[in-house]
Amino acid sequence: MQNLHEYLLSQKLDVAEKNIVIYIYQNLKPTAKLPIRDVALATFSSTSFIFKLAKKVGFVGYSELLFFLRNLKASNQSPPKTDADILDLGSFTSYQQAFIEMLEKYRLQKIFVFGFGYSDIAALYIKDKLLLSGYNAHISSHLQLLFNEKSADNLLIVISESGENHRLHEIVEHAKLVNMGILSFTAKTDNAIARIASLALPVGAWSPLASSSNFTPLAMLLFDYLHDAPPSSVDSI
């Protein structure tokens, strides 16, 4: 039987959909029922959403999805991996000190966050997280606001899966010319944006299982991991 994790990746499920399948898998018992309403309540979704999910992954309905997952669990295969497993967060401990020092350096300055397309979702999330943490964070495509006489005092955070987006590359190059700090989240380190960045974080480069459809949630997950690191773990690096 196909590995469930690989199957889910091939179906390009979003984070909410994967979490529902993982919840069902982890809470299935050999004979006990798992009502769809209970799953909806536990995963903060709805019965109609779960039914559509079952159809999306190739089943007639919820009962067939349960049958498939119950058989998979009985075969003693490994449970599906979460995004945290895919990213292997432990591989990023060496980045924590530099990441936190960079944010603290610009705590009293402006932080601009950029991401185009799907990456804009991660950019908005990171901006909001920084605002809640007391940083002066912004999302703006107006370069006259980004580049001025005090640009060197500011930080630019860029999220780009390929790291080769022409528009973002121009922005990063300009930021470097005016001596702004640059923090990048890209799917690998060998790309135009990462090579310019002051600190380049490779999102997903640590595992061949990280598909392109996972880049945005993985970027948010990595930011949370580095941003929320307890002081003790950072001091010990």
- This model's pTM is above 0.75: no
- Dump the DSSP string for 63-105: HHHHHHHHHHHHTTPPPPPPHHHHHTGGGGHHHHHHHHHHHHH
Amino acid identity of residue 211, one-letter, is: S
DSSP annotation of 57 = T
Could you give phi then psi for residue 115, rounded to 5 degrees? -165, 130
Q: Which domains does the chain have, with CATH numbers?
A: 4-80 (1.10.10.10), 86-235 (3.40.50.10490)
**Residues whose CB is less than 8 angstroms from the CB of residue 163 and which lie 6 or more positions away in sequence, other chains included:** 184, 186, 187, 188, 191, 192, 193, 194
Q: State how far the Cα of 95 lies from the Cα of 141, in Å rounded to an integer.
A: 28
Burial zone of 217 (CB within 10 Å; 0-12 exposed, 13-18 middle, 19+ buried): buried
Q: Is the dihedral of CA 163, 169, 174, 177 positive or negative?
A: positive
Inter-helix orientation angle 15-27/47-56, to 10°: 100
Q: State how far the Cα of 114 lies from the Cα of 172, in Å rounded to an integer.
A: 10
H or E element that contains 176: helix 166-177
| Residue in this structure with the two tokens 């949630």, named with its chain if needed | 217
Burial zone of 134 (CB within 10 Å; 0-12 exposed, 13-18 middle, 19+ buried): exposed
The per-residue pLDDT string of the chain (237 residues; one tens digit each, 9 = 90 and over) reads 455 555 666 667 787 888 898 888 888 877 678 999 999 999 989 999 999 998 888 888 899 888 888 887 776 555 455 555 555 666 677 888 899 999 999 999 999 998 887 788 889 999 999 999 999 999 866 666 666 656 678 999 999 988 888 888 888 998 898 889 999 999 876 889 999 999 999 886 434 344 445 788 888 888 988 988 665 444 544
Residue 50 is predicted with a pLDDT of 94
